[in-house]
Amino acid sequence: MPAQLIDGIALSQKLRGEIAARAAALTAKGKQPGLAVILVGEDPASQVYVRNKVKACGDVGFHSVLEKYEADLSEAALLARIAKLNADPAIHGILVQMPLPKHINPHKVIEAISTTKDVDGYSVLSAGELMTGLEGFRPCTPYGCMKLIESTGVDLRGKHAVVIGRSNTVGKPMGLLLLQANATVTICHSATPDLGVHTRQADVVVAAVGRRNTLTADMVKPGAIVIDVGMNRDDAGKLCGDVDFAGVKEVASHITPVPGGVGPMTITMLLMNTVEAAERL
């Protein structure tokens, strides 16, 4: 029996309805949630993503500002803009789209964002809060992956979860969130000699590598849940994930598509963090 599709667009719609209701309640009290999105440079993929983020804000009744700067914007000028937004009472979340031009230090920029407005969950403090199990903003992509897994109704306690990839934005926080949900967690990466040895043990696989066909059907245990974080292009230029979808869907119990899986949920969790920030501030 082929896998059940985990529909990130449908789940996003449901969650965005709840977010819109919370936003309306805040707006009625004179505190409409506000997100500032900063884009430096002309990376075409980034242009699409930030446009989607700003549109999503409108859909749930948030105030949003999109600030676009030329690629030669100085680091000092960017830090000054962030300081302004930190002090702006109409702004509850600040997102600086990554990657930044090479002359700007992303760590310096991330740490300049007020912790109370770090809706990306990228700061050292947010990472520490996740690590220690304290309340705080969780990075949007792994947070969205957890919601997608939850939506299957499968309890993670005692399950073996294998994460492929160890980035600070996805792989590492993903491992911690799965651990918090009482899974046994393995994190694989580019130096893992034989990925399949690990993934074949997995009840849940999260693929976050950025290379197509990283996970193929022979590497998946029958009945596993497969979450595909990848965003790649195939030979025809079509968007595709890290998972060989056609093959793996015949083996897995549940699988996310690309597009329409993790991507929309990343934006939804950004909205969730922003409404949360507005409620807290």
Ligand X SMILES: Nc1nc(=O)c2c([nH]1)NC[C@@H]1CN(c3ccc(C(=O)N[C@@H](CCC(=O)O)C(=O)O)cc3)C=[N+]21
Q: Which residues are annotated as a binding site for NADP(+)?
A: 165-167
52 binds ligand X (CB under 6 A): yes
Q: Residue holding tokens 């009945």?
A: 223
Q: 29-48: which residues touch ligand X (CB under 6 A)?
A: 48
260 binds ligand X (CB under 6 A): yes
Q: 213-242: which residues touch ligand X (CB under 6 A)?
A: 231, 239
Amino acid at 268: T
Q: 66-85: which residues touch ligand X (CB under 6 A)?
A: none
- Look at residues 177, 87, 188 and name the one whose alpha carbon lies nearest to residue 140: 177
Tell me the pairing of strands 239-240 and 232-233: antiparallel
> What CA–CA distance (Å, rounded) separates 112 from 106?
10
Residues carrying an active site annotation: 53, 97, 120
CA distances from 210 to 85, 133, 153, 155, 215 (A): 32, 28, 27, 28, 11
> Residues 86-125 vs ligand X: string with x where CB under 6 A?
---------xxxx---------------------x-----
> Least distance in Å: CB of 15 to ligand X?
14
264 binds ligand X (CB under 6 A): yes
Q: What is the DSSP letter of 117?
A: G
Q: What residue ranges bind ligand X (CB under 6 A)?
A: 48-49, 52, 95-98, 120, 140, 231, 239, 258-260, 263-264, 266-267
